[in-house]
Amino acid sequence: MKRIVLVGGGHAHLLVLRQIARCKPPDVEVTLLSPSRWQYYSGMLPGWIAGTYRREECRIDLQALSASANACFLEDGACEIHAEDRTVGTTTGRLLQYDFLSLDIGSETACDSLQPLGAPLLPVKSPDFHHRWEEFIKLCRMTPAFSAAVVGAGAAGVELALAVHTGLLKVRPDVRVTLICGPDGPLDQLGASAQSIAAKFLRHAGIEIVYQRVVGTAEGVRMPDGRSIAAHCVLAATGARAPAWLGHSRLGLDVDGFVAVDDCHRSRTHPNVFAAGDVCSRDSGAIQKSGVQSVRLGPVLAHNLLAAAQGTPLRAYKPRRRSLYLLSGANGSAIACWGTWCSSGRWAWRLKDQIDRRFIRQFPRLPDTIAIPSASI
């Protein structure tokens, strides 16, 4: 019996578990480690903020998914890996032994320059994001002229700003939302057409765009010219950073601390360790940090984990050069980007909504009231 430990319920692991549920492989014992039973789907986060979706509609039940795959689900987070001893330590003090380990734990928000801000700062990759956003909504209800700033204007930042604006307007009419991007403006990675469509959406919503880099202050953010923007809430969508604890794992990491993998997504230093999604890095830089890439990798990762356990050949994952990105406008339309082509409209929102709902629907769920049995490990 080979022990496979999956750390994190990221996109690729969802598909690994779905595949294991389908083929019920003999001679493997699978454990999923995740700090929460619920895996929130980031594609629907802006829709939840804007009030389009209920919280229950945007999440996947990892306990039910594990049960369908005969896997053991542990509601616990990893905090250390001893790659030489083949063990994972958890935040509640467990020590799990593995034959094969797979990491799909996502990334953290790189927002050090905003840290002095303290309580009003809400990094988009926070584990308690949903709870904290609900707290800001309560604050907004009680605060005249509530103001929010979103820092970072890549795809996630633009979607967030539009969603935050729509969500807050439902609470009170006198809110102000500012999107802070670098000098190159919103969506600078996606080309001129995407930039001009995004600017049109933002202007139409009444969101102010600031083309400067900022640092956090006690009251909000400050620009290089000394001017400040006061904000009751500052959301950071400022890019990905690797979890610091991986630095002690002895796994080979890239210069930014992400797990270095080969084209089969196997660690370059430890052949019994795999990594997928935002937490991994390929030599060529060939793989973008996005949910779409992590989803596409899932079936190949499932194959490779089982093949490694059975001693059969692994498969390489060839990332696609382009993906379709659909950004919610939080107004019944969306922006669609494919390479440098970009368009927008209600059709794009309908397509995004369909794709996202279909993604969630493919996973099983248990009634919310079923408690997690105490783990036997």
Ligand X SMILES: Cc1cc2nc3c(=O)[nH]c(=O)nc-3n(C[C@H](O)[C@H](O)[C@H](O)COP(=O)(O)OP(=O)(O)OC[C@H]3O[C@@H](n4cnc5c(N)ncnc54)[C@H](O)[C@@H]3O)c2cc1C
Beta bridge partners of 147: 176
Cβ closer to ligand X: 92 or 228?
A: 92
- Nearer to ligand X by Cβ, of 7 and 199: the residue is 7
Using the minimum distance from each CB to ligand X, give the nearer residue, 65 or 231. 65
Select from 23-31, 284-292, 304-312, 369-377 the region that touches ligand X (CB under 6 A).
284-292
In order of 277, 294, 305, 377, the CA distances from 319 in angstroms are 12, 10, 18, 36
Contact call for residue 375 and ligand X (CB under 6 A): no
Shortest distance in whole angstroms from residue 125 CB to ligand X: 6
Site for ligand X in 307-336 (CB under 6 A): none
Q: Using DSSP, state whether 121 is helix, strand or coil.
A: strand
Q: Pick one of 78, 96, 251, 273: the residue that binds ligand X (CB under 6 A).
A: 78
CB of 225 to ligand X, least distance (A): 29
Is residue 69 within 8 A of residue 21, CB to CB? The reply is: yes
Instruction: Find the binder of ligand X among 16, 71, 121, 156 (CB under 6 A).
Output: 156
| Contact between 241 and ligand X per CB under 6 A | no
Shortest distance in whole angstroms from residue 193 CB to ligand X: 19
Task: State the nearest-atom distance from the C-beta of 174 to ligand X, in Å.
Answer: 25
Establish if 11 lies at the interface with ligand X (CB under 6 A). yes
Q: Which helix (H) or strand (E) holds 325?
A: strand 324-328
Is 158 a residue that touches ligand X (CB under 6 A)? no
211 vs 49, 53, 197, CA distance in Å? 24, 31, 17
Minimum distance from residue 269 beta carbon to ligand X (Å): 20
Helices (H) and strands (E) in the chain, counts: 8, 25
Considering the rule CB under 6 A, would residue 9 count as an interface residue with ligand X? yes
CB of 163 to ligand X, least distance (A): 8
The answer to whether 61 contacts ligand X (rule: CB under 6 A) is: no
Residue of the chain from 106, 120, 186, 220 that contacts ligand X (CB under 6 A): 106
Instruction: Find out whether 320 and 338 touch, Cβ atoms under 8 Å.
Output: no
- Position 77 contacts ligand X (CB under 6 A): yes
Buried b (16+ CB within 10 A) or exposed e, 215-243: ebbeebbbeeeeeebebbbbbbbbbbbbb
Strands 95-97 and 87-90, by their bridges, are antiparallel
Strands 233-236 and 147-151: parallel
Closest distance to ligand X from the beta carbon of 287 (Å) = 11
Q: How far is the CB of 228 from ligand X (least distance, A)?
A: 26
Binding flag, residue 12, ligand X (CB under 6 A): yes
Alpha-carbon distance of 322 to 307, in angstroms, equals: 28
Q: Sheet harboring 220-222: ordered strands across?
A: 215-216, 220-222, 228-230
Rounded CA separation 333/60 (Å)? 25
Q: Kindly indicate which of the ranges 8-16, 134-142, 250-258, 265-273 contains the residues binding ligand X, using the contact rule CB under 6 A.
A: 8-16
The C-alpha atoms of residue 85 and residue 316 are separated, in whole angstroms, by 27
- Strands 2-7 and 121-123, sheet pairing: unpaired
Among 277, 308, 314, 329, binds ligand X (CB under 6 A): 277
Binding segment toward ligand X, per CB under 6 A, in 29-37, 172-180, 256-264, 314-322: 29-37
* Contact (CB, 8 A) for 66 and 4: no
Length of the chain: 377
Q: What's the CA gap between 273 and 253, in Å, rounded?
A: 12
Is residue 42 a contact residue for ligand X (CB under 6 A)? yes
How many residues touch ligand X under the rule CB under 6 A: the total is 34
Under DSSP, the state recorded for 232 is: S
Residue 281 is a binding residue for ligand X (CB under 6 A): no
Q: Is 289 in the site for ligand X (CB under 6 A)?
A: yes
Q: Which amino acid is at 300?
A: V
- Which stretch, 38-46, 142-150, 202-210, 260-268, contacts ligand X (CB under 6 A)? 38-46
Residues that bind ligand X (CB under 6 A): 7-12, 33-36, 39, 42-43, 45-46, 77-78, 104-106, 124, 127, 156, 159-160, 237, 277-279, 289-292, 294
